[in-house]
Amino acid sequence: MKTKHFLILNFFIFCFLLVKGQTISFDNDSNLIFNPSFEQHLSCPQRIDPYGYMDEPVAWWQPTNGSADYYNNCGGKQCQVPKNKLGYQNPRTGGSMVGIYCSLTNYREYIETELKEKLQKGETYHLSFHVSLSEYSPEAVATIGGLFTEKMLMDTTRGMLTLNDIKTQNNGVKQKLSSYYKPQVVNPFNKVLSDTLSWTRIEGDFVAQGGEKFLTIGNFYPAEQSNVVYVPGLRNILPGAYYYVDDVELYCVTCGQPKQIGDISITKTKDSVEYVVGSVIVLENIFFDFDKSVLLPQSYVELYNLINLLNSKPNMKIELSGHTDNKGKDRYNMQLSLDRAKAVYDYLVNSGIDKKRLKFKGYGAKQPIADNKTEEGRAKNRRVEFKILDM
């Protein structure tokens, strides 16, 4: 696949790609990645912390304790562009980028985001992103890729992300089984990513299983399967292969194309949700720090979708409600649930939604939707939802 040409029309940039012998055009609004070049940020990065947490770019976060880094031209000396603590590189576009270790060692870093919508079963999607090796690295690798999952990946490890399953034997003994994740799109093993001067595009097509909602980028392969190559001329300051990442794009290649069923040709459309007064909708991907009411970056795609919904239905009024599980004292849970509902309320108001359209309440543990006796049930009960009051 290669880019053929660009055409600016009605403020959209159409990228014409040659896919399987057909010319497919995409516009920027079709990109399923929110904040694809990391330009939108909550704060300016100030320092590189080996045990820190990347919480500056909107809708992006690190899924493990491996400390991904954010760079912006508004940042402190260690996080500036183009020159920063871990190398020298201009962002491919705009004024920001991120950085991750894809190392020779077991230490790894990843970045993760929530897609604008779930992927549709049987449809073909095209993922691309760009990387550039830091000249401070001692070596380069090949197998950086993108993994799509239904659920968010969250792990306390500082090593390679693995798929951990618990298997129960016939005698009742539980055993933890680990296996490698298989990213749907990965850079070829024989094409080592060794360019430190310019950006290299990683891209590929895949067919969705259906329901995938999260994208994680990094190296999911052990060193012996990553094609580690020592590159002459590198400064060998860092402990592993460190890459800058920019411009992530995901497009559906086949969505909306006619599907042939017998002699009848139909066009597939997105599933629609009917919103009516009295409906209660759980905001499934709203996240806070433990026992706090500060919204985490993982929440911003869900909030973005809610803002779009309210903007598309200007007469809709809603009540935001916070809920907790039954652990802790009732008074504390009531206050925490109220504070979390208000945090979402404040975000919507600050994003331009008229506060006259919004209410917020905290219900503590009084309205469970699942069994509080299990961790899975308690997790479902810790939620923020909204009820439609008027249309």
Tell me, yes or no, whether 95 and 242 share the same domain: yes
- Tens-digit pLDDT profile for residues 113-141: 999 999 999 999 999 999 999 999 999 99
Domain assignment of residue 214, yes or no: yes
Does residue 22 belong to any structural domain of this protein? no
Q: Note the pTM of the prediction, 2 decimals.
A: 0.76
> Final residue of a domain: which of 252, 269, 298?
252
> 267 lies in a domain?
no
378, part of any domain: yes
Do 326 and 189 belong together in one domain?
A: no
Residue 343, domain extent: 280-390
The DSSP output letter for 357 is G
Rounded mean pLDDT, 309-314: 93
In a domain, 166, yes or no: yes
CA distances (Å), origin 171, targets 164, 168, 340, 369: 21, 8, 44, 33
Confidence of residue 4 (pLDDT cuts 50, 70, 90): very low
For residue 330, pLDDT beyond 50: yes
Whether residue 105 lies inside any domain: the answer is yes
Q: At what angle do helices 330-350 and 300-312 cross, to 10 degrees?
A: 60
Same domain? 190 vs 338: no
pLDDT, tens only, 209-249: 999 999 999 999 998 899 999 988 898 899 899 999 999 99
pLDDT score at 122: 95
Last residue of a domain, one of 206, 233, 252: 252
Tell me the sheet residues that pair with 206.
Answer: 125
Flag whether 162 is in a domain. yes
Residue owning tokens 């590159």: 231
Q: Which residue has the higher pLDDT, 37 or 260?
A: 37
3-state secondary structure of 157: coil
Kindly state whether residues 248 and 288 are assigned to the same domain: no
CATH number at residue 347: 3.30.1330.60
Exposure string over 329-368, b if 16+ CB within 10 A, otherwise e: eeeebbbbbbbbbbbbbebbeeeebeeebbbbbbbbbeeb
Region 200-213 average pLDDT: 97
pLDDT tens for each residue of 246-274? 999 999 999 976 554 344 333 444 445 67
Position 145 confidence tier, pLDDT thresholds 50, 70, 90: very high
Within 10 A of 46 (CB to CB), how many other CB atoms are there? 12
Q: Are residues 222 and 184 in the same domain?
A: yes
User: Both 235 and 320 in a single domain?
Assistant: no
Residue 3's pLDDT is 36
Share of the chain above pLDDT 70, in %: 85
**178 and 47 co-located in one domain:** yes
In this prediction, residues 322-331 reach a mean pLDDT of 90
- If one compares 300 and 77, the residue with the highest pLDDT of the two is 77
- Mind listing the pLDDT tens digit for each residue in 276-310? 999 998 888 888 877 788 888 788 888 888 998 99
160 domain-assigned: yes
229 with 328, same domain? no
Alpha-helix residue ranges (DSSP H) falling in the chain: 300-312, 330-350, 375-381
Asked if 245 and 199 count as a contact pair (C-beta separation under 8 A), the reply is: no
In the chain, the number of structural domains is 2
167 and 219: one domain?
Answer: yes
> What CATH code is carried by the domain that includes residue 44?
2.60.120.260
**Pairing outcome for strands 60-61 and 111-114:** antiparallel
* Residue 87 host element (H or E): strand 87-88
Strands 242-252 and 96-101: antiparallel
What are the Cα distances from residue 324, in Å, to 184, 280, 289, 331?
36, 17, 13, 11
The reply to whether 209 and 348 lie within a common domain is no
In this predicted structure, the answer to whether residue 19 has a pLDDT above a threshold of 70 is no
Query: Tens of pLDDT along 180-200?
Result: 899 999 999 999 999 999 999
CA separation, residue 168 to residues 162, 171, 172, 362 (Å): 19, 8, 6, 39
d(CA 130, CA 244) in angstroms, rounded, equals: 8
203 and 284, same structural domain? no
Same domain for 114 and 245?
Answer: yes
Which of 18-22, 93-97, 177-181 has the highest average model confidence (pLDDT)? 93-97
